[in-house]
């Protein structure tokens, strides 16, 4: 038989922040018989995204995860790396301090983060985001990335 325990009827034994920015809390029920763990994520205010079509929708972190996985996921060794990229992108979006961003801004921020993390993933995402249709477009983005890296030295 599963006993229902209300979180409000429990006591926190320990709290710590996880690598992905969540808060892990180890709890014990008020009667002291049951221990369990909860995970909390800070809820940020909603940001609206203006799509290329002109439509607006609320920013969806999970949608961004799916997009990054679909275009570059196999270039990361774990889904945790994809989560870390999306965490950085989300943080940069909120740092803009805007109530509305464009899907183009989100794509560009994603490209910027990927350029720092994984060059091949960067090129793959760029090819999807910028809708490459020719080999010369791939060559151009690779040349730009090389030039940028040379300039940083």
Which three-class secondary structure state does DSSP give residue 37? strand
What letter does residue 99 receive in the DSSP assignment?
Answer: S
Q: Which residue ranges of the chain lie beneath pLDDT 50?
A: none
Distance separating alpha carbons of residues 98 and 78, to the nearest angstrom: 31
Output the pLDDT for position 1: 57
- Tens of pLDDT, residue by residue over 101-112, are 999 999 999 999
Specify the pTM: 0.70
């Amino acid at each position: 038989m599963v006993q229902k325990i209300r979180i409000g009827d429990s006591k926190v034994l320990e709290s710590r922040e996880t690598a992905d920015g969540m808060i892990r809390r180890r709890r014990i029920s008020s009667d002291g018989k049951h221990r369990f763990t909860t995970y909390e994520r800070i809820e940020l205010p909603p940001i609206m995204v203006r799509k290329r079509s002109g439509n607006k929708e609320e920013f969806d972190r999970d949608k961004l995860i799916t997009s990054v996985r679909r275009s570059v996921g196999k270039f990361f060794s774990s889904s945790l790396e994809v989560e870390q990229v999306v965490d950085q992108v989300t943080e940069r979006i909120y740092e803009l301090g805007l109530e509305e961003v464009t899907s183009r801004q989100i794509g560009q921020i994603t490209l910027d983060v990927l350029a720092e993390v994984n060059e091949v993933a960067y090129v793959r995402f760029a090819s999807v985001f910028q809708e490459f249709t020719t080999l010369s477009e791939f060559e151009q983005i690779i040349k730009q990335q090389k030039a940028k890296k040379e300039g940083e030295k």
